[in-house]
Amino acid sequence: MAETSPEMRLFSPEGERLYLSADERERFLKAALEEERENRLFCAVLHYTGARPSEALDLTPERISLSDGTLTFKTLKKRKKDSEGRLKQPKFRTIPVPDKLIDELDLVFDLRRIDRTGKATNSPLWTISRSTAWRIVKRVMDRAGITGKQATSKGLRHGFGIAMLAGNKPLPLNILRDLMGHTDTKTTEIYLQAIGSEKRQLVMQAWE
C-alpha cells in the first residue's frame, strides 16, 4: 500500500486525534448559529461537504444547483502539473447537500434572482480572505468547546470523511473518494482506520 501524505494522518505521532467526532461536528454546527449569516453558512458548507476552506471560498452561484441540491467545487489541492511537467486541466467534484442548506444559500445570496438575471454568476459567494476564514472556524471551534489538534478545518474535513463511512449505510469508498476529491481510493481508505473507535463512541453515547 502506498504511503499516505502527512495531510491524511488521522492521528498525530503522539496518538492525538486529528479528526472531529460526530458529537464535535454537531457542536460545531450548533455553535456556528451565533455567527453572522454569511459566516454561519460558510461553516455549514464546510460541515456538509468536507470541502477545504479555499475550495469553499472559490464557490460561485453557477456551481450551485438549486434543482439538484448540489454544490460543485473546484478541487484545489491537486498538483497543477503531471509527472512530465504538463499543465493539467482543472478537476471538479459535485456534492449533494441537504435541502435546508440550499434554501439558506438562496436566501442569503439571492441565488434564484442571480440565476434569472445571469449577473455575476461566476463571482465567489464569499469575499473574505483565507486567514479570515481560518479565524471564523477557530472562533466557532472555541465557542463549541472543541480543543486539541482536531479543532481545525482539516479536522472538520476528516470528520466528514469518517461520518460518510460510519453510518448505517456507509458510502462505497469510490464514491467517498470522488466526494473528497482524492485521486486514488487508497488515500480514502485511511478513514477506515477510525471507524472502529467512532462507532464505539456512538454506541457508548446511548448509555450515558
pLDDT digits (tens, 9 = 90+) for 7-55: 578 988 998 999 999 999 999 999 999 999 999 999 999 999 999 999 9
**Range of 97-101, 167-171, 203-207 with top mean pLDDT:** 97-101
**Measured distance CA(43)–CA(159) in Å, rounded:** 14
Whole-number pLDDT of residue 166: 83
Q: At 84, give phi and psi (nearest 5°).
A: -100, 10
Residue 106 corresponds to which amino acid?
A: D
- Given a contact cutoff of 8 angstroms between Cβ atoms, the answer to whether 37 and 18 are in contact is no
Give me the residue spans of the domains in the chain: 7-205
pLDDT beyond 70 at 147:
yes
Q: Which CATH superfamily is domain 7-205 in?
A: Intergrase catalytic core (1.10.443.10)
**pTM: predicted TM-score of the whole model, two decimal places:** 0.87
What's at 105, amino acid-wise? L
- Interhelix angle 153-166/130-143, rounded to 10 degrees, is 60
Query: What local confidence, expressed as pLDDT, does residue 133 receive?
Result: 98
Mean pLDDT computed over 179-191? 91
Handedness of CA 59, 38, 42, 136 (dihedral sign): positive
Residue 1 has pLDDT above 50, yes or no: no
